[in-house]
Amino acid sequence: MIRLKFSFGPYEVIVEGQREHEIFKQASLWGEIAAQCVGRKQVVLKHRTSQGFDFYEVLDAATGERLQFGQRKEDNGLFPKGWQPPYNAQQLPPAPPPQYQQPSVNVPRNPPPQPQYRQAAPQTVNVQSRTQTTQQFRPPPPQPQEPEPTDADNPF
């Protein structure tokens, strides 16, 4: 019989097994807890159930910090997730600083040219109304486009 003893805060855990690998499996969680609780004198083991889920944590009563645990799906074993700061419902997280974007130094003098699209030639379309009379429809002629300004047009 192999026996291993861990101490953290007011707790003492003894792990027993016939072989070394049994001790490692059982002791890994308790060794992690003991290592995380070094220097903490007022630790409390806590368990609660909410909406059918179990929650496990070690609470440092002196500082209010919590060492929370996750639960593995395959064997329901626990693993430490890390220390969390004390919960205070009155304290809201700080607002993120406003984002300021400095204007770009490399502003182009002229905007890039816009792609030119060809206009389709006007077509004659036969439209039938509910009275079965045939009418001809011709779209309006295209409007002339203004030329884009150039550097010669700019007085500055």
Of 147, 142, 155, 144, the closest CA to residue 113 belongs to: 147
> Does residue 62 form part of some domain?
yes
Q: Band of the pLDDT at 155, cuts 50, 70, 90? A: low
pLDDT in tens, 103-126: 666 666 666 677 776 666 666 555
Task: Say if CB 43 and CB 57 are below 8 A apart.
Answer: no
Question: At 66, is the secondary structure helix, strand, or coil?
Answer: strand
Q: Compute how many other C-beta atoms are within 10 angstroms of the C-beta atom of residue 126.
A: 8
> Does residue 19 form part of some domain?
yes
Q: What is the pTM of this model?
A: 0.49
Residues 6+ apart with CB under 8 A from 5: 12, 13, 14, 15
> Does residue 108 form part of some domain?
no
**Residue 99 pLDDT > 70:** yes
> Does residue 119 form part of some domain?
no
> Which pair of structure tokens corresponds to residue 47?
């368990």
> Does residue 49 form part of some domain?
yes
> Which pair of structure tokens corresponds to residue 141?
């002629």
> Does residue 69 form part of some domain?
yes
For the chain, give the longest Cα–Cα distance: 104
Residue with tokens 């909410």: 50
**Residue 134 pLDDT > 60:** no
Number of domains the chain contains: 1
Residues 6+ apart with CB under 8 A from 70: 78, 79, 81
> Does residue 43 form part of some domain?
yes
Domain interval for residue 48:
2-84
Please name the helix (run of DSSP H) or strand (run of DSSP E) that holds residue 57, with its range, or none: strand 53-60
pLDDT in tens, 13-65: 888 889 888 888 888 888 888 888 888 888 888 999 999 888 999 999 888 89
> Does residue 76 form part of some domain?
yes
* 52: alpha, beta or left? (left if phi > 0; alpha if psi -120 to 50): left
